C-alpha cells in the first residue's frame, strides 16, 4: 500500500498513514500528493488529498466528497 487515488478529485496520492489522527493537519501543509482517510458516521471511508480536505466543510458528508469531483471548480 501507499499509492492510491483521491476519492474527491481522482489525483494520485500517497497515503500518509491509517485512519488515526485524521484532522491533525498543521505541521504538514504541503499539497504534494499526501492524502488522508476520512471516515463518515455511516462507515463510508474516503481517501482525500489535502486540497480536497480543505475544500470540505467542517462537518463533511459523503455527498460533499462526491461533489468535489463533479463541480470541477
Where on the chain is the footprint of Zn ion (CB under 5 A)?
6, 8-9, 49, 52
Please state the closest distance from residue 49 (CB atom) to Zn ion, in A: 4
Q: How far is the CB of 7 from Zn ion (least distance, A)?
A: 7
Cell of 38: 476520512
CA atoms of 40 and 38, how far apart (whole Å): 7
Identify which of residues 5 and 18 has a Cβ nearer to Zn ion in the complex.
5
**What's the min distance (Å) between Cβ of 13 and Zn ion?**
7
CA 22 → CA 16, 38, 39, 62, distances in Å?
Answer: 10, 7, 9, 16
Amino acid at each position: 500500500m501507499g499509492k492510491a487515488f483521491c476519492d474527491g478529485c481522482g489525483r494520485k496520492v500517497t497515503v500518509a498513514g491509517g485512519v488515526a489522527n485524521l484532522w491533525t493537519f498543521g505541521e504538514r501543509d504541503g499539497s504534494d500528493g499526501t492524502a488522508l482517510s476520512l471516515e463518515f458516521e455511516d462507515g463510508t471511508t474516503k481517501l482525500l488529498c489535502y486540497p480536497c480536505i480543505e475544500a470540505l466543510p467542517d462537518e463533511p458528508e459523503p455527498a460533499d466528497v462526491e461533489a468535489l469531483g463533479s463541480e470541477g471548480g
